[in-house]
Amino acid sequence: MPIRKDDTPPNRRFGIVNLVLIGFGVLLLVSSFLPNQGMQQVPRVPYSLFVSQVDDGSVRRAYITQEQIRYELKEAPAEGAPSVLATTPIFDMDLPKRLEEHGVEFAAAPPQKPSFITTALSWIVPPLIFILVLQFFARRSMGGAQGALSFTKSKAKVYVPDEESRVTFADVAGVDEAKQELTEIVDFLKTPERYTAIGARIPKGVLLVGPPGTGKTLLSKAVAGEAGVPFFIISGSEFVELFVGAGAARVRDLFEEAKKKAPCIIFIDELDAIGKSRAGSMGVVGGNDEREQTLNQLLTEMDGFAAKDKPVIVLAATNQPETLDAALLRPGRFDRQVLVDRPDLSGRKTILDIYARKVKLAPGVDLDKLAQATSGFSGADLANLVNEAALLAARSKRTSVEQGDLNEAIERVVAGLEKKSRVLQPDEKKVVAYHEVGHAIVGHLMPGGSKVAKISIVPRGMAALGYTLQLPTEERFLNSKEDLEGQIATLLGGRSAEEIVFGAVTTGAANDLQRATDIAEQMVGTYGMSEVLGPLAYDKQGGSRFLGGGNNPRRVVSDATAQAIDKEVRTLVDRAHERALSILRHNRDLMESISHQILEKEVIEGDDLKNLLASSVMPEEAVAIV
Ligand code: ADP
Ligand code: MG
Ligand code: ZN
């Protein structure tokens, strides 16, 4: 779609005002550099000399001003020497008396009259500046398209869909429910009369809610593309500026422009940047007023426009719906909310189909398998995955993308790009090997419906020195308590292996511990899985459901309960640790043999791994630790 930036001519009025100001400035400068008439340079002497000359009676007359005393000697002290001298006056009350005593003729200068220009300037300039500043602010808060400066203009980009490049619903996959809801919106935009004739109220605001990269922006473009109407896109953060009032003016400007192009769509991305709950943000210093004003303006605008047959529909996207101000969600505003979630298995398949069509695939590539291996990927991740695979194929000078490229691309997307340059010391490598094998063996024996697919000690990404890849064998939406305990034990498997083999722990397990503790905390605080504490949610809802939770504020609990929670979390993690230790001690020989193999090959996967892990046994005592 072509992008048109809104560009009205720069404000002329402001230009004139500027000119006038500059003119005055120049005048001021010039007048201050003008030489003071009648003040030619005369040699300066110390005051003491002047006094002694007066006392000597050698001074004929003196002319006293604020800045200097000029005096004329009765005769020049030497041939060619000046007979007129000057000195700087000091506060001397006796001077007139002294001069009189020695018969010096003296006069003082009349108080200096300021020049006409100076007077005029000092009277005119300050009020002028004052008026200008006032006017500037007044205009800014009046806003509108003719605001005083460009920062009151909305920075919205306007897309006008044209035939070749428009996005349609066919370009979005895996979010069928959202599509269905939005089809209705397209209908409103295309034939508003049908709805208004019956007296139905056309919805004004639709809020797309979902994690990043799931296609919210894409969907709203598709709505515009399907309806064939202009599409204004702006990010919530673009409203919020340093200057109080700028955001509100931009909102006004945006809606004004949109009304001219109605029927059309306004899309506000990252609505949470302006729509944060006002109650929740109390006490935050700075920026608050501005956001509140912007939000109020948005609410006013949404309440305001009601053109019957020329609808302006506001779409907005957020991944933190729970932080939004309740006022935004009231009827007549964003009363419709559409969930755009991560795609499920079949959704991932259709998204992969879309992007696979854009690259040359080798025959026999199995997209179903790929879809299975990418549980939890968003649409953007999948698009990225296919592109990575194509890059890999191109780099190795192949003409089509093969399954191997896609598999490697998965790992790249999951674990970040391979870091060939990072070399581990041999002893470090050994620790990493045992650590990863520890994860793999415990992970293999734990319940939870994932199988260990790969162990690698090739460093990847920023932090991971090695990794163990677990793939789910089936799509799961619910985890049982046992699954979660298994996950904790698996996470602790790495550290446990280090403890058993080296009798010491390294910093390599920090991320594992973080995740294990998070899971344990959620089990107790969010899922009510503790027998001691019962089915109560000690964490307040409010942490993001989409972004993986964590950091939820705790409900107000008694000290005793808080202690009990901490103790219970600790018990869960300790128990999982015991379990991992017991499993690994019991499978010590297996751990040794796999570790030796991986130190040689760096990567073990597929059937090799399956066969190796098949000989692991679950010790009785580890089952008992529950
Ligand atoms: P969001 O706005 O939800 O963060 P975007 O719409 O910006 O996500 O998605 C980024 C890119 O990822 C899109 O341009 C598109 O290429 C791809 N994408 C994301 N979700 C989907 C989907 N459901 N179907 C097809 N492509 C998708
Ligand atoms: Mg987006
Ligand atoms: Zn680990």
217 lines ligand 1 (CB under 6 A): yes
- Give the pLDDT confidence of 239-248 residue by residue, as tens digits: 766 566 677 7
CA of 298 to the centre of ligand 1 (A): 26
- Asked if 510 and 459 sit in the same domain, the reply is yes
> Do 313 and 170 sit in the same domain of this protein?
yes
Distance 337 CA to ligand 1 centre (A): 18
- Judge if 498 and 595 occupy the same domain: yes
- The verdict on residue 384 lying in a domain is yes
Q: Find the DSSP H helices in 208-263.
A: 216-227, 246-261
Q: Based on the fold, state whether residues 572 and 445 are members of the same structural domain.
A: yes
Q: Indicate whether 284 belongs to any domain.
A: no
Average pLDDT, rounded, for the chain:
78
Q: Is the pLDDT of residue 475 over 60?
A: no
Q: How confident is the model at residue 500 (pLDDT cuts 50, 70, 90)?
A: very high
CATH code of the domain in which 84 resides:
3.30.720.210
Whether 385 and 502 share a structural domain: no
Q: What is the CA(425)–ligand 3 centre distance, in A?
A: 18
Q: Band the pLDDT of 427: cuts 50, 70, 90.
A: confident
Q: Is the CB of 339 under 6 A from ligand 1?
A: no
> What is the DSSP code string of 539-574?
BPBTB-TTTT---PPBPP--HHHHHHHHHHHHHHHH
Is 454 a domain residue?
Answer: yes
**Residue 468 CB less than 6 A away from ligand 1:** no
Closest C-alpha residue for ligand 1 atom 25: 172
Catalytic residue among 301, 402, 436, 485: 436
pLDDT of 149 > 60? The answer is: no
- What are the pLDDT digits (tens) for 92-112? 788 888 888 888 888 887 766
Q: What angle do CA 69, 75, 80 make, to 5 degrees?
A: 95
Pocket test for ligand 1, best of 208, 218, 351 (most atoms within 8 A of CB): 218
Q: Is the CB of 380 under 6 A from ligand 1?
A: yes
Let me know if residue 376 belongs to a domain.
yes
Q: What is the pLDDT of residue 140?
A: 61
Residues 441 and 454 in one domain: yes
Query: From the CA of 514, which ligand is nearest?
Result: 3
Please tell me the residue having the least CA distance from ligand 1 atom 11.
Answer: 380
* Domain that residue 24 falls in: 3-34+115-143
Residue 421 lies in a domain: no
What share of the chain in percent tops pLDDT 70?
Answer: 77
Domain end point (choices 378, 393, 415): 415
For the CA atoms of 524, 525, 529, 531, the dihedral, rounded to the nearest 10 degrees, stands at 60
Please give the distance of CA 434 from its chain centroid, rounded to a whole number: 39
More confident residue, 321 or 503: 503
Identify the domain boundary among 373, 392, 415: 415
pLDDT: which is higher, 89 or 386: 386
Establish whether residue 347 lines the binding site of ligand 1, counting it when its CB lies within 6 angstroms of any ligand atom: no
Ligand nearest to the CA of 173: 1
Please tell me the distance from the alpha carbon of residue 337 to that of residue 323, in angstroms, as a whole number. 14
Residue 149 lies in a domain: no
Q: Is 216 in the pocket of ligand 1 (CB under 6 A)?
A: yes
Conformation bin of residue 364: beta by default, left when phi > 0, alpha when psi is -120 to 50:
left
210 alpha carbon, closest ligand:
1
Per residue in 199-211, pLDDT (tens digit) is: 777 778 888 888 7
Q: What is the CATH number of the domain that holds 439?
A: 1.20.58.760
Q: What is the pLDDT of residue 535?
A: 85
Whether the pLDDT of residue 571 is over 60: the answer is yes
Arithmetic mean of pLDDT, 593-611:
87
| Residue 208 Cα: closest atom of ligand 1 | 3
387 with 518, same domain? no
Residues 557 and 590 in one domain: yes
SS3 46: coil
Do residues 440 and 550 share a domain? yes
Which ligand approaches the C-alpha of residue 379 most closely? 1
Mean pLDDT, range 128-140, rounded to an integer: 80
pLDDT value for 281 = 45
Quick: pLDDT tens for 544-555. 444 444 455 677
Cα–ligand 1 centroid distance for 215 (angstroms): 3
CATH code of the domain covering residue 162:
3.40.50.300
Ligand 1 centre to CA of 380 (Å) is 5
Higher pLDDT, residue 492 or 550: 492
Q: Catalytic site residue 436?
A: yes
Q: What is the CATH number of the domain that holds 349?
A: 1.10.8.60
Residue nearest to atom 12 of ligand 1 (CA): 380
Tell me which range, 248-262, 367-381, 497-511, 582-596, is most confidently predicted by mean pLDDT: 582-596
- Give residue 543's pLDDT: 45
DSSP notation for 166-209: ---GGG--S-HHHHHHHHHHHHHHH-HHHHHHHTPPPP-EEEEE
Domain assignment present for residue 494? The answer is: yes
Q: Give the model's pLDDT for residue 12.
A: 45
Where does a domain end: 384, 415, 446? 415
When divided into structural domains, the chain yields a total of 5
Residues 371, 513, single domain; the answer is no
Q: Are residues 309 and 409 in the same domain?
A: no
CB of 173 sitting under 6 A from ligand 1: yes
In a domain, 399, yes or no: yes
* Residue-level pLDDT at 479: 79
Q: Are residues 488 and 579 in the same domain?
A: yes
Report the range of poorest mean pLDDT among 106-120, 149-163, 328-342.
Answer: 149-163
Distance 254 CA to ligand 2 centre (A): 19
Q: What would the mean pLDDT of 437-466 be, rounded to a whole number?
A: 77
